[in-house]
């Protein structure tokens, strides 16, 4: 089952690269998105999932935006071009470590899916989750490899420079850096943003172990610390 697709694009000129496949954050089933699908229902679990490649910038000018995208919060529209610029910067930064970039995108998809049901400011949540996803250490990663990524991307002045470059304002930069530092240190604040970022980080760790023998132990470790209702629902995916 799909939602409405963009009525303002000519599909005759589309190519294979205009189709992407992602795993449903709730059940792990593959979902196929065309580039103009704002969201789709998972054919397995029935949950509505955002297209991680959609660019909401068109909602600012397209007269068909309401029909195509529905009632999108202004904060989400505002965050979209910023996040696209940040993803591009991260992609360049991680050009020699494509797996890390994919980890960042996987974590972002988790957060975006949770934000469909949970409260929180996307302008703060999305950048924080991208950095955390790229920096996460898996049990399968060597200490030397982890040290390399921390040196490349794990310092607050690097975050501040990149966030400023994509157009995020100073006060928000401070809040995003605090979210990253707090979450990576194993703590969380009592804010909607911190709780959602916390859940995204722990769920992303499970994704990194999804096909490994350590997964059941990792699931048992986080089952009592996931905070959001949507996060707890996603956790069922790893208990199969």
Q: Does residue 145 form part of some domain?
A: yes
**pLDDT tens readout for residues 177-208:** 999 999 999 999 999 999 999 999 999 999 99
pLDDT for 80: 64
Q: Which residues of 52-74 are buried (b: 16+ CB within 10 A; e: fewer)?
A: bbbebebbeeeeebeebbeeeee
Q: Are residues 3 and 104 in the same domain?
A: no
What's the total number of domains in the chain? Answer: 2
Q: Are residues 15 and 47 in the same domain?
A: yes
Q: Are residues 33 and 79 in the same domain?
A: no
C-alpha–C-alpha distance, residues 217 and 77, integer Å: 39
**pLDDT tens readout for residues 69-80:** 455 555 555 566
Q: How sure is the predictor about 143, in pLDDT bands with cuts at 50, 70 and 90?
A: confident
C-alpha–C-alpha distance, residues 14 and 35, integer Å: 9
Q: What is the largest CA-CA distance in the chain?
A: 51
Q: How sure is the predictor about 11, in pLDDT bands with cuts at 50, 70 and 90?
A: low
Q: Are residues 20 and 118 in the same domain?
A: no
Residue 49 domain boundaries? 1-55
pLDDT above 60: residue 55:
no
Do 3 and 36 touch, CB atoms closer than 8 A?
Answer: no
Do 180 and 159 touch, CB atoms closer than 8 A?
Answer: yes
Q: Are residues 81 and 47 in the same domain?
A: no
> pTM for the complete prediction?
0.79
Q: Beta partners for 32?
A: 21
Do 226 and 202 touch, CB atoms closer than 8 A?
Answer: yes
Q: Beta partners for 30?
A: 23
C-alpha–C-alpha distance, residues 133 and 130, integer Å: 5
Name the residue with higher pLDDT: 51 or 97: 97
User: What is the token pair recorded at 1?
Assistant: 């089952």
C-alpha–C-alpha distance, residues 45 and 57, integer Å: 29
Q: Are residues 112 and 171 in the same domain?
A: yes
C-alpha torsion angle, residues 41, 42, 45, 50 (rounded to 10): -70
Q: Are residues 33 and 90 in the same domain?
A: no
Q: Are residues 169 and 205 in the same domain?
A: yes
Q: Does residue 62 form part of some domain?
A: no
Q: Are residues 6 and 103 in the same domain?
A: no
Q: Are residues 184 and 92 in the same domain?
A: yes
pLDDT for 37: 73
Nearest CA to 128 among 200, 202, 23? 200
Residue 30 burial by CB count (10 A; 0-12/13-18/19+): exposed, middle or buried? exposed
């Amino acid at each position: 089952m799909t939602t409405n697709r963009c009525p303002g694009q000519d599909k005759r000129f589309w190519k294979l690269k205009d189709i992407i496949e992602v795993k449903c954050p709730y059940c792990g089933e593959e979902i196929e998105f065309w580039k103009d699908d704002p969201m789709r229902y998972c054919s397995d679990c029935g949950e509505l999932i955002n297209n991680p490649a959609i660019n909401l910038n068109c909602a600012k000018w397209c007269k068909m935006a309401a029909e195509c995208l529905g009632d999108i919060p202004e904060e989400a529209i505002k965050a979209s071009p910023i996040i696209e610029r940040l993803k591009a910067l991260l992609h360049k930064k991680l050009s020699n470590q494509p797996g890390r970039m994919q980890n960042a995108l996987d974590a972002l998809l988790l957060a975006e899916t949770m934000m469909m049901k949970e409260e929180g400011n996307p302008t703060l949540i999305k950048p924080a989750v991208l950095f955390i996803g790229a920096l996460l250490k898996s049990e399968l990663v060597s200490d030397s490899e982890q040290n390399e990524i921390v040196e490349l991307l794990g310092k607050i002045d690097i975050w501040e420079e990149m966030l400023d470059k994509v157009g995020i304002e100073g006060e928000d930069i401070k809040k995003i850096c605090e979210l990253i530092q707090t979450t990576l240190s194993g703590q969380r604040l009592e804010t909607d943003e911190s709780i959602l970022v916390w859940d995204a980080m722990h769920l992303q760790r499970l994704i990194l172990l999804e096909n490994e023998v350590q997964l059941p132990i990792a699931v048992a470790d986080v089952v009592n610390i996931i905070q959001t209702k949507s996060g707890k629902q996603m956790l069922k995916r790893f208990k199969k």
